[in-house]
A and B are shown apart, each in its own frame.
Chain A
Amino acid sequence: MNNILNQIGIENYIFLSVILFCIGVFGVLYRRNAIIVFMSIEIMLNAVNLLFVAFSTYHQDAQGQVFVFFSMAVAAAEVAVGLAILVSIFRNLGSITIDNLKNLKG
C-alpha cells in the first residue's frame, strides 16, 4: 500500500479538499440556521485535515498526522463550547436564526 499516491496522485486529493472547503464556505454563507453553519465549519476543518494527511503521506513524515490529532482535539473543544453558546442563545431568544443576533449593531 506504500505506492498509493503513485496510483491516485496528490493533485486529486488537493482538488477534493479544495472543493470540500468551498462547500463549507458556501454553507456558512447560504444558511441562516446556526447549527448548519456550525456543521459547515466542521466540514471545512475536515477538508484541511484530509489535506494534512495526504501531504503527510506524500512527504512520508508523521508530523502532519500528529498535527491532525491536535486539530481534532481543538475541534472537539470548539464544538462543545459553541453548542453550549447556541443553547444559551436559544434560551434567551427562542430561536437560533443568526439574523436575530443584531444586538451589537447599535
Chain B
Amino acid sequence: MSTILIIFCVLSAITLSTAFLTIFSKNPIHSAIYLVICFFSIAGHYLLLNAQFLAVVHIIVYSGAIMILFLFTIMLMNLNEQREVYRPRITRLGAIVSFCLICLVLITIFINSKPIVGEYTSTGEDYQSIKVLGKILLNEYMVPFEFASILLLVAMIGTVLLSKKEKLEK
C-alpha cells in the first residue's frame, strides 16, 4: 500500500465515523463538534485531490461560518438531551432498513458502471491552481458569480426579517 492510499483510508474512516457520530450523539452540541471534524476531514480529501482553493474555502465557509451559526443557534435555544423525544421503534427500524437499501442500490449501480467510467490518464496540464480557477470564475462564470452575491444579500435580508421579533399591536 502506498502512503497516499493509507492517508485516504484514514481520512475516509474519520469522515464516515464522525458523520455517524453526528447523527447518533444525543447532545446537539456534540453533534455540531463531530460535524466540524467531519468537515475538516473532507477538506483533507480536497487537499489530497490537489484542490487547494476549495480546501481553504471549505474550511472558511463550512467549518468556520456555518458551524458557528449552528452552535449559536443551539445555544440560543438551550437544547439539552432531556428534551429530546425519540421516534417510535417502527420508524427507526424503517430508517435503518431504508439506509441499507439505498446503500445497496447505489453501490451496485456504481459497481456496474465501472466499465463506463474507464481508466484515468493524466495529461499533466495545470487545471486547478488558484490562477486558473480565478480566470475561469471571472470570465466564463462572471454572471453566476454576481448572482451569487445577490443571492447572499437576499438571504441576509430574509434572515434578519425572519428572526426579528414581531411588534405587538397596540
Residues of A bordering B, CB below 8 Å: 1-12, 14-16, 18-27, 29-33, 35-36, 38-40, 42-43, 46, 49-50, 53-54, 56-58, 60-63, 65-66, 68-70, 72-81, 83-88, 90-91, 95-97, 99
Residues of A close to B15: CB separation below 8 A? 16, 20
Cβ-defined contact, A29 with B99, below 8 A: yes
Residues of B bordering A, CB below 8 Å: 2, 4-5, 8, 12, 15-16, 19-20, 22-23, 28, 31-32, 35, 38-39, 42, 45-46, 48-51, 53-54, 57-58, 61-62, 65-66, 69-70, 73-74, 76-77, 79, 83-87, 91-92, 94-96, 98-99, 102-103, 106-107, 110-111, 114, 117, 120, 122-125, 127-128, 132-133, 136-137, 140-141, 144, 148, 151-152, 154-156, 158-159, 162-163, 165
Bound together, the chains give a CA A12 to CA B74 distance in angstroms of: 35
Residues of B close to A63: CB separation below 8 A? 136, 140
Q: How far is the CB of B133 from chain A (nearest CB, A)?
A: 6
Cβ-defined contact, A35 with B79, below 8 A: yes
Knowing A54-B49, A72-B57, say if A81 contacts B159 (CB, 8 Å): yes
Partner of A80, one of B19, B45, B69, B122: B69
Bound together, the chains give a CA A67 to CA B70 distance in angstroms of: 24
Cβ-defined contact, B23 with A65, below 8 A: no
Cβ-defined contact, B107 with A18, below 8 A: yes
Task: Pick 21 A–B contacts, CB within 8 A, sort by A.
Answer: A22-B103, A22-B106, A25-B99, A25-B102, A33-B28, A35-B28, A36-B23, A56-B51, A57-B51, A60-B125, A62-B133, A62-B136, A63-B140, A66-B137, A69-B133, A72-B58, A74-B151, A77-B152, A80-B158, A83-B73, A87-B162
Residues of A close to B49: CB separation below 8 A? 4, 53-54, 57
Q: How far is the CB of B137 from chain A (nearest CB, A)?
A: 6
Knowing A22-B103, A33-B79, A70-B144, say if A88 contacts B31 (CB, 8 Å): no
Cβ-defined contact, A66 with B136, below 8 A: yes
Cβ-defined contact, A87 with B38, below 8 A: no
Partner of B23, one of A1, A23, A87: A23
Partner of A29, one of B2, B84, B95: B95
Residues of B close to A72: CB separation below 8 A? 57-58, 61-62
Cβ-defined contact, A39 with B35, below 8 A: yes
